[in-house]
Amino acid sequence: MIDGFDKRKFLARLLIGIALLYFFVGLNFDLNIYDEGVGLVGAERVANGDIPYLDFFTIYAPFNYYLTVAYSMLFGASVMSPRFLVLIMFVITLAIMHRIIQKSNNNKPMFASGLVLMILLFFNPFYAYAKPTAPAIMFSVLALLFTINQIYEEVFIWKDDDSEPDKKPKPLMKYLVLSGVMSGFVLITRHFIGVYLLIAIASAVFFTFDIPNKQKIKAYLIVLSSASIIAIPVAVYFLINVSWDLLYNQLVYIPATIFPAYRALPWPTISNALAADTLRQQLMLLWLSVYSFLPVTVFLFTTGAFIKAKRNNQLTPRLKAALPISVFALLLIMQAGVRSDAEHFIPTWLFSLLALFVQVDFSKLRIVYKVFFVSLILGFIIVPLKEKADIIKNMRNPKAVVIKDIPRAERFIISEHWYKDLSPAVNFIRKHTSRKERIFVSPVRNDMLFISDAVFYFLAERLPGTRYHELHPGISTSEPVQKEIISDLKKNNVRYIVIFKSYFNSNEPNLSSKSSGVTLLDNFIKSNYSAVKHYGHYKIMKRN
């Protein structure tokens, strides 16, 4: 610090400023019909008094729905509003990650490391739309920060015959409690990620805390108890209002069995990359195949260094701090192991890089290792940077149209042919139905589907006429669920059904591309509804 100038604080604030600028320059104004639509409609149903799992189907933990409702009540219901909430959470995430890196590097600025994490955090497939992963990542980073604070906390203990004190770690209640509370919020946001986080914190408590085993057990019980303070009231509420069968089926059984069977994508390999149709796809898959092993590599590197240092009695706080982060990153790879695309790799990559930046002192590396790490990181960030450049370029696309007549998506930019289909379809439903009237949005075929247009409900400002606004292959393609949907359509007196024909045909190597042979719902729609309007890929059906 010179004449009151604090370089570390200045660069930390500059990083946040750059992150905000990076977010807004080339902001994604496209619509996400499925993933984002599922979250927006789910939140709207919660605002209407519906209870997740009971009144509508979802495989996600509930907190993000209620968080989105609260934010939308303050700032209005629109597609963009929750995206700004994601921006806030990701900026907080970046600031905390940067602080963890600084703490492990003797409070050096570590500006370049922060920039790398920023580029990955704001990679378009990950940040472009509102999703429950955002709060889960933010709370996870907070929990790890408090755990790492515990590792760095030391007290001085004097013995009568010592001229110098011994330094001993001491478990501080506040850090254990805060770490547990943050873990509790992760559990009620993305429950599987919450379990991974608690395992990672356990690795810190039992392998890095220099205290007797009984105190380690006590310390971890404090973490679990603190997590329970958040998670148990939520669990009790839903156990009172929703049957155990529904909760287990949607939160455990379907994610563990049906989702992998119908959504799995193969692990990226060089052979898959070479077999892709276009050069762009080939390069993306090649990039994925190279960096898909980063979490495992970082974990092995960290644990190897940790074990070696422990044997030689040379454990450092930064190596202790890297252990739970690398464990968490390794466990997050389970998500990418099911659906192996960039979007699902990003969380595990983020924490892998964080572990790397925490434990490696780049200033002390030999030049050959510096060149290796710099090359590795440059190759890593080149794809997110290219994606950002493409988004900026596409904003000037003459074939794109700015939405002006759909209130909840004003100023969004979509392709001209989609706009010509979407706008009149949405406004037809808004004109011919009352605000309280329910509709149903269906794919062309309900025996086989990839995704449905869930966001249509939100744009039309109409609630679904069935529990299933998220039409998931393996669920809505089954006979029991189709019978339930038909019953809901009758019970809710649904007059209008919107049939959406997807703009692309998916042929993923999983069961979503195969027919279930169940056509009950399709036959019911054909027998009881007739087409009244046709807007390109949208067909409006009215009950006979």
pLDDT tens, residue order, the chain (544 aa): 455 678 888 989 999 999 999 888 877 788 889 999 999 999 999 999 999 999 999 999 999 999 999 999 988 899 998 988 888 999 999 999 999 999 888 888 889 999 999 999 988 767 667 778 999 999 999 999 999 998 887 543 434 444 554 555 555 788 999 999 999 999 999 999 999 999 999 999 999 988 889 989 999 999 999 999 999 999 999 999 999 999 999 999 999 999 999 999 989 988 888 888 888 888 888 999 999 999 999 999 999 999 999 999 999 999 999 999 999 999 999 888 888 888 899 999 999 999 999 999 888 888 998 899 999 999 999 999 988 888 888 777 778 889 999 999 998 888 899 999 999 999 999 999 999 999 999 999 999 999 899 999 999 999 999 999 999 999 999 999 999 999 999 999 999 999 999 887 778 889 999 999 999 999 999 999 999 999 999 999 999 9
Domain span at residue 460 reads 401-543
Using a 10 angstrom Cβ sphere, with 0-12 exposed, 13-18 middle and 19 or more buried, the burial of residue 244 is exposed
**Residue 265 · residue 510 · CB < 8 Å:** yes
SS3 of the chain: helix, strand, coil, percent, to 5: 65, 10, 30
Residue 526, domain member (yes or no): yes
Nearest to 391 by CA among 80, 20, 30: 30
Structure tokens at 314: 């040379």
Task: Give the pair of three-digit tokens for residue 465.
Answer: 């006429």
Cβ(512)–Cβ(452) below 8 Å = no
Count of C-beta atoms within a 10 Å radius of residue 330: 23
Residue-level pLDDT at 189:
96
Considering the domain boundaries, does residue 392 fall inside one?
no
- Extract long-range pairs of 477-481: CB within 8 Å, 24+ residues apart: 477/446, 477/447, 477/448, 477/449, 477/515, 477/516, 477/518, 478/516, 478/518, 479/518, 479/520
CB 302 within 8 A of CB 322: yes
DSSP secondary structure letters along 461-527: T--BSSS-SS--TTTTTSHHHHHHHHHHHHHTT--EEEEE--SS----SSGGGS--S--HHHHHHHH
The candidate with the shortest Cα–Cα distance to 84, out of 20, 13, 18, is: 20
User: Long-range contact list for 412-417, CB < 8 A, 24+ apart?
Assistant: 412/29, 412/30, 412/31, 412/79, 412/80, 413/29, 413/30, 414/30, 414/31, 417/536
Number of domains in the chain: 1
Task: Judge whether 285 lies within some domain.
Answer: no
Let me know: does 329 contact 295? Beta carbons within 8 Å: yes
Half-sphere exposure of 345 (CA within 13 A, CB side): 26
- Calculate the dihedral angle through the C-alpha atoms of 443, 446, 452, 453, rounding to the nearest 10 degrees: 30
Q: Which of 540, 445, 435, 446 is nearest to 495 (CA)?
A: 540
Residue carrying the six token digits 């750059």: 18
For residue 525, tell me if it sits in a domain.
Answer: yes
Instruction: Indicate the residue type of 316.
Output: T
Contacts of 429 (CB under 8 A, 6+ apart): 439, 460, 462, 496, 498, 540
If phi > 0 it is left, if psi is from -120 to 50 it is alpha, else beta; for residue 49 that is: left
Residue matched to tokens 């009971």: 54
Q: How far is CA 331 from the centre of its chain?
A: 15
Q: Please give the Cα distance from 19 to 297 (Å, whole number).
A: 28
Q: Answer yes or no: are the C-beta atoms of 121 and 90 closer than 8 Å.
A: yes
Of 108, 32, 525, 136, give the one whose Cα is nearest residue 350: 136
Q: What whole-number distance in Å separates Cα of residue 541 and Cα of residue 440? A: 10
User: Positive or negative CA dihedral for 252, 257, 258, 264?
Assistant: positive
Beta strand extents in 335-388 (DSSP E only): none
For the chain, how many residues are written?
544
* 421 found inside a domain: yes
Residue 174 burial (CB count, 10 A): 11
Taken in order 48, 51, 52, 54, the sign of the CA dihedral is negative
d(CA 492, CA 157): 71
pLDDT of residue 277: 81
| Residue 448, domain member (yes or no) | yes
Q: How many Å apart are CA 116 and CA 18, to the nearest integer?
A: 12
pLDDT of residue 170: 57
Whether pTM > 0.95 for this model: the answer is no
What tokens appear for 17 in the block? Answer: 């400023």
Contacts of 189 (CB under 8 A, 6+ apart): 61, 63, 64, 132, 135, 136, 139
Q: Which two tokens stand for residue 68?
A: 């989105």
Q: How far apart are CA 60 and CA 43, in angstroms?
A: 12
Within-domain flag for 38: no
Integer Rg of the chain from CA:
25
CA distance 539 to 482: 20
Residue 518 within a domain: yes
Residue 188, pLDDT score: 98
